[in-house]
Amino acid sequence: MQPGLDYGCANVDFPKGLSPKAGWFVMAVSFQFPNDMCSGGMGSGGRWDYWRPFSRDIVELGVVCGQDVSLPVHFHEEDQLTFVLSGRRRFLIKDRLFDAAPGEGVRIPAGTPHSSLSEPADVFCINIYTSPGACNAAALFAGMALLWRRQGSIGWPDLAAMIENHRQNHRCGDGMPPQRVETMPPSWETVGEGARLAGMSREGFSRSFRKQHGVPPQLFRLSERLNEARRLLRAGEPVAAVAAEAGFSDQSHLGRCFRRAFGVTPGRYRRNLPPAP
C-alpha cells in the first residue's frame, strides 16, 4: 500500500498469530456468504458474485475470488469500498497504481474511473458499494478487522451493522471527495454530437473530455449505459428489456460489455440481486 494514499485507504492489523502467508486465508474462507457465493472455490479464472442485502446504506455487495481479477477502465455511481482478505488487489486510478494487501482497504469514490489488474496468486476480497460519501471507510475497515479478531468470521448482518455504525452525516469525510463525472451536456450520444454541441472539433472535444474526466468520451458513455443497466437489473427488469432501455444493440451486446466491465453476466448478476421490497 502506498503511504499517504488519498482514496480512503486504511491499513489494519492482522488478527493475533496470523500472517498473510499463513493463516489469513483460513480466516478469509470462513467469511459467511449468502447463497453459496464463491462456493466453487478459487482458481486461475476469477469468479465474481454480487448480492443486494436489504439495507438502506448498502447498494450491493460483491465478492471476487481467483487470479484473473482484471477489469478494464470503468466507474460506478456508488463509492466502492474494497477490503482484501487474501492475496492482493491492484487498481489503476488516474495513471497511479494502488496496491492493497490482506487487511487493507481502498475506497474508490463514486464516478472515479479505475481499472484492476490480474494477480499471480489467488485473491479473495469483498467490495461494498454505498451511496457516495455515506460511510467512513477507514473506520469501517478497522472495525471489520477488529470484529474478525474477536469472533473469527464476519457475517452479512455484522457487516450491515458496522456500515450503519460508520455512516457519515456529511459527504465524504474521509479520502477524496466523489469525482462525479457529468455529461457535457447530458443529451449527446456520440463523439461527433458532443463535439458539435460543445462547438469543438471531434479531436479537440475528445482531448478536452479525456483531460477533464480521465476517460475518452465514448468509454464514458459506455460506462454510463452499463451503470444504467446495473440499476435496471437490480430493479428486476428482464435482461432483454434492460439491453434495449440502456441503449445496447441487443442482449448479446449488453452481455459482452457487462461481463467485461463487471466480471459477471447480466443474467447471473440479476439472479443474485433480488429487487428491494
- The answer to whether residue 30 scores a pLDDT higher than 50 is no
* Residue 110: strand pairing partners: none
Confidence of residue 130 (pLDDT cuts 50, 70, 90): very high
Cα–Cα dist 181/80, whole Å:
15
pLDDT in tens, 48-61: 888 887 677 788 88
pLDDT in tens, 201-235: 999 999 998 888 888 999 999 999 999 999 999 99
| Phi, psi at 164, each rounded to 5° | -60, -40
**pLDDT above 90 as % of the chain:** 38
pLDDT, greater one: 45 or 160: 160
As a whole number, the mean pLDDT across the chain is 77
- The answer to whether residue 98 scores a pLDDT higher than 50 is yes
- Give residues with Cβ within 8 angstroms of 65, minimum separation 6: 38, 41, 42, 46, 47, 122, 123, 124
Cα–Cα dist 200/175, whole Å:
35
pLDDT score of 255 = 98
pLDDT, mean of residues 124-137 = 91
Are 152 and 184 a contacting pair, CB within 8 Å? no
pLDDT score of 20 = 34
β-pairing, 79-86 vs 10-11, is: unpaired
pLDDT score of 103 = 79
pLDDT score of 45 = 53
Q: Which domains does the chain have, with CATH numbers?
A: 10-165 (2.60.120.10), 191-271 (1.10.10.60)
β-pairing, 123-130 vs 96-100, is: unpaired
Cα–Cα dist 201/190, whole Å:
13
- The answer to whether residue 167 scores a pLDDT higher than 60 is yes
pLDDT score of 277 = 42
Q: In what order do the strands lie in the sheet with 89-93?
A: 71-74, 114-116, 89-93, 96-100
pLDDT score of 231 = 94
Q: What distances in angstroms separate CA 4 from CA 90, 98, 134, 179, one per listed residue?
A: 16, 11, 22, 19
Cα–Cα dist 64/269, whole Å:
13
pLDDT score of 187 = 64
